[in-house]
Amino acid sequence: MGFDLLTEIYFRHGFFADNCLRDIRVLIPQDTALDMRRYEILFRRMPDRFVLLFNNSSADQRGVLLQERLTLTFDLQLLDPFFYNYTGLSQTDIPGSILLFSNADVHAPGKLHAQDVVTASEVVAFEHQGAVISARPFGRIILQLTPDLSNGYEISFAARATRWCYYLMSANLAALSEPAIIDTSSNFHFTGPQAVTLPDGARASVFVSEETIALAQRPLHTFQLVDSVGIGGLHRTVIPALPSPDIQTISAAGIPGYDRTQAYSEIFLY
């Protein structure tokens, strides 16, 4: 006699090196708490997931429980204020919407959303339900306990991709004769340098990536600042490994000639 696994919900995010999203708090509305108590379902919170357990006091108790076809609701609170800075998700009206996850509708295998990662199709207008949860949740899980319930599901977010902007700020960097930024893997290219005037009136040169680059907790690429690129790619390395963007500084980058509807990450080099 004891408790066995009913199902578990994992939180995943491509930004993190271990693909685990931990800054989620799970709240149980009163109706769901009552149903879980009535049917002896236990809730356990882990760093990157939560687990539901059932009382296995009799044979095929899981099957008997799933024949009841209960619907459990869980509200999610977001604990990281910079989440949307590093997440690839189109959710324009954040204050008036939430993310809705469910195993009831069409969903990708092993997921609680339609695609392999969370997209705008999971964004719905927020409608307050009940008096227990007063604040708007970040997301809501509606889990139907039916005979085809999987042992585990994932909620997976993609890392945001931005165009990276490297600004040469110091006098030493401004004095380089033929500066360039190169990717040691040759996958990404940067245009520039282009002279710009910063909001404080300072002048600088900037390099901008031709394509968007995914943000990551640990660098996925090695970009170098070099000088005097010549025949055969010969050059002098000035900075062998450029820093990655700070996730707190996503901007629209007011650089003449660039699309201001795109997201840019600014990195200032001294």
Per-residue model confidence as pLDDT tens digits over 145-158 = 999 999 999 999 99
% of the chain residues with pLDDT over 70: 92
**CA 188, CA 1: separation in Å to the nearest integer?**
58
Q: What is the pTM of this model?
A: 0.90
Q: Which tens digits make up the pLDDT trace of 18-27?
A: 999 999 999 9
Rounded CA gap, 154 and 239, in Å? 40
User: Contact at 8 Å (CB) between 179 and 191?
Assistant: no
Q: What residues contact residue 156 under an 8 Å CB cut-off, 6+ apart? A: 12, 13, 14, 111, 113, 116, 117, 118
**Phi, psi at 220, each rounded to 5°:** -95, -15
Greatest mean pLDDT range, 1-5, 54-58, 186-190, 207-211: 207-211
Mean pLDDT of 220-241: 85
Q: 12 versus 60: which is more confidently predicted?
A: 12
Dump pLDDT digits (tens) for 99-130: 999 998 888 999 999 999 999 999 999 876 65
Angstrom distances, CA of residue 87 to CA of 15, 97, 197: 7, 16, 29
Task: Say what the pLDDT of residue 130 is.
Answer: 56
Tell me the backbone φ, ψ of residue 38, rounded to 5 degrees.
Answer: -65, -40
Average pLDDT over residues 194-220: 90
What are the start-end ranges of the H helices in the chain? 30-38, 61-67, 171-174
pLDDT at 105: 80
pLDDT band, very low/low/confident/very high, at 228 (cuts 50, 70, 90): confident
Residue 133 has pLDDT above 50, yes or no: no
CA 164, CA 209: separation in Å to the nearest integer?
5
- Interval 65-82 mean pLDDT: 95
When pLDDT is averaged across residues 33-38 and rounded to a whole number, the result is: 96
| CA-to-CA separations, 188 to 94, 161, 181, 246, in angstroms, rounded | 32, 13, 10, 19
pLDDT bin (cut points 50, 70, 90) of residue 29 is very high
In this structure, what token pair is assigned to residue 108?
């990708």
Continuous segment of H or E residues that includes residue 223? strand 223-227
